Amino acid sequence: MGIQARKILDWLEDRFPSQWAEDWDSVGLQVGDPAGMVHRVGLALEATPTAVRWALNEKIDLLLCHHPLIFKPLPRIETDREPGRTIGELLRGGLILWVAHTNLDAAPEGVSTALARRIGLQALRPLARTEGGLLKLVLFVPVGCEEIVQQALRRMPGVGRIGAYDYCSFTVRGEGRFTPGPGAQPFRGETGGESRTAESRLEMLVPPAVVERLLDRLRAVHPYEEMAFDLYPVRNPVPGAGLGRLGVFDPSLAWDDFIRVLKERTEAPVIQVSGAAPDRVAAVAVCGGSGRTAIPWARKAGAQVLLTGEVGYHPAVECQEAGPVLVTIGHYCSEKWILPELAGWLSRADQEQNWGVTIEVYLPPGDPYCRTV
């Protein structure tokens, strides 16, 4: 059966908006044609040569990854070296590559949440909250034409989303005044004369990623020759979204039991500890991947332990005295647990929206990128 890639990418953008990503990050579509057809979706932590070969062998059409293949604009693509070699493999194989990195980290059900739940933490909350980064669209519509505009807005993902509510909008009546100039073909009024007409001011939140397509769609149905609108930045915090997570063990765990849980549930081949271990562990901060920036957040939140992938030497030395106790399990083992979660969400969306796709996960056990010898 299959479906156009854009349908799945719109669903992903709606769930993991690109505006949640950090300014330095590179997320979204990185390689391929969003109009291409998708029959098989693959999930991998990143588009390594091994993961791409797996995707090609599995006849994957759309590869969804956490780590970007392209971080910065490339001045050239040389296929005899990385990342050009892997880009070439993706293009030759007709693979579409889409990435959710720090926007997936910040998502309420994102990377750190998956790790925190994996080890049994409860009462989770973000360590650093994420602002929405949304836009507010203000659109002026002649009275009587509101419904056709509302229908166009309803067909775009994420438009009007406030928490669990979709297509939220506000409308107020007023008077619009305008004077059509030479060559104008006004919907109401005459060229050269001032016109007054009853208008509705429609307000709705809009994700930046869909603005251009949304405006094109609105222009196609709006009765005015020149559609009047404004876009304002909105910085409201997003409920539940943010980097890292703080959780608790209830009841608390003895230190040795905590380490045993980590070994069993994260499959980490090596666990490193910096700082004096407490007798019992209750409050734990979690940050999947690189957790250097999470150290002051965890300290401020009162965490006894910060569990992360890796941080580097000097931050580990700092935690020796200032706390919290730093526990690292490797980048891969701290992040891979998001992949089965994402596969589950996609499977449910496939059933609900009748995409007709198969979903596969590339999830080697242990840490395939850093062997213990």
Per-residue confidence at 128, pLDDT binned at 50, 70, 90? very high
pTM for the whole structure: 0.83
Q: Mean of the pLDDT values across residues 62-69?
A: 98
Domain count, the chain: 3
Element (H, E) at 249: strand 237-254
Please state the rounded mean pLDDT for residues 71-81: 91
Report pLDDT for 318. Answer: 85
Q: Which domain holds residue 23?
A: 3-103+336-361
**Residue 373, domain member (yes or no):** no
Same domain, 113 and 246: yes
Q: Which of 72-81, 126-135, 338-347 has the lowest mean pLDDT?
A: 126-135
Percent of the chain with pLDDT over 90: 73
247 and 117 part of one domain: yes
Q: Are residues 123 and 253 in the same domain?
A: yes
Query: Same domain, yes or no, for 321 and 251?
Result: yes
Q: How far apart are CA 105 and CA 129, in angstroms?
A: 11
pLDDT at 132: 72
For residue 168, how many other CB atoms are within 10 A of its CB? Answer: 13
Q: What is the pLDDT of residue 131?
A: 78
pLDDT confidence tier of residue 165, bands split at 50, 70 and 90:
confident
Tens-digit pLDDT profile for residues 288-318: 999 999 999 999 999 999 999 999 889 888 8
d(CA 211, CA 232): 12
Do 230 and 111 touch, CB atoms closer than 8 A? no
Same domain? For 17 and 99 the reply is yes
**pLDDT of residue 319 exceeding 90:** no
CATH number of the domain enclosing 258: 3.40.1390.30
CA-to-CA separations, 16 to 23, 44, 102, 336, in angstroms, rounded: 15, 16, 9, 17
Same domain, 159 and 201: yes
pLDDT at 191: 84
pLDDT tens for 187-240 read 887 888 888 999 999 999 998 888 898 999 999 999 998 899 999 998 887 888
Same domain, 310 and 250: yes
CA dist list (Å): 317 to 244, 271, 322? 21, 16, 9
pLDDT of residue 250: 95
* 97: β partners: 31, 63
Minimal CA–CA distance to 61: which of 35, 100, 81? 35
Please tell me whether residues 251 and 117 are part of one structural domain: yes
Instruction: Let me know whether 148 and 190 are in one domain.
Output: yes
- pLDDT at position 136: 94
- The CATH number of whichever domain residue 199 belongs to comes to 3.30.70.120
Q: Is the pLDDT of residue 78 over 80?
A: yes
DSSP secondary structure letter of residue 119: T
> Same domain, yes or no, for 65 and 139?
no
| pLDDT at residue 109 greater than cutoff 90 | yes
